[in-house]
Amino acid sequence: MPLPDLATYTPHRTVTNAAFDGVPVPGLRAEFFHRTEGLRVASVCRYSLGGRDLLLTWGWADEQHGRWWAARDPSGFWHPAVAGRPVVRLLPGGLAVRSPAGTWLSARGPAPASAR
């Protein structure tokens, strides 16, 4: 499964300090993109934290969760797409995604004002 080409989608909405699995993550940016395919709407969400893309999820807008996902490591390499839902671990100030190879790819947001 190839990664979706976001140039073929229309930006739909952006959420800052987005929630992941219902838990708000400070600094997490979720950008949603849509495109019509026949009678359905294809949807992609790009998650980034601290200015770094971390995760893509995609599928159909009428489904609760994406059908596929791919994680990006700190070097900029996108791991191959995987069916299902990613395994994500919430961290203080960030989150980590388990790659298909089993390694944890983490990202952190900006430090809170009280910690600067």
* Straight-line distance from the first to the last Cα atom of the chain, in angstroms, rounded to the nearest whole number: 42
pLDDT digits (tens, 9 = 90+) for 59-86: 999 998 889 999 998 888 999 999 999 9
Provide φ and ψ at 102, rounded to 5°: 95, 0
Strands (E), the chain: 10-16, 19-20, 23-24, 28-37, 40-49, 52-60, 68-71, 82-83, 88-91, 94-98, 104-108
Q: What are the tokens at 73?
A: 């490591």
pLDDT of 55: 94
Judge if pTM exceeds 0.85: yes
Q: Is residue 115 in some structural domain?
A: no
Q: Which domain holds residue 55?
A: 6-107
How many domains does the chain divide into?
1
- Coil/strand/helix, residue 116: coil
pLDDT digits (tens, 9 = 90+) for 17-60: 998 878 888 889 999 999 999 999 999 999 998 888 999 999 99
Question: Is 20:47 a contact under the CB 8 Å cutoff?
Answer: yes
Q: Is residue 1 in some structural domain?
A: no
Q: Is residue 112 in some structural domain?
A: no
Reported confidence tier of residue 110, pLDDT bands at 50, 70, 90: low
- pLDDT at residue 99 tops 80: yes
Q: Is residue 22 in some structural domain?
A: yes
Count CA atoms within 13 Å of residue 64 on its CB side: 3
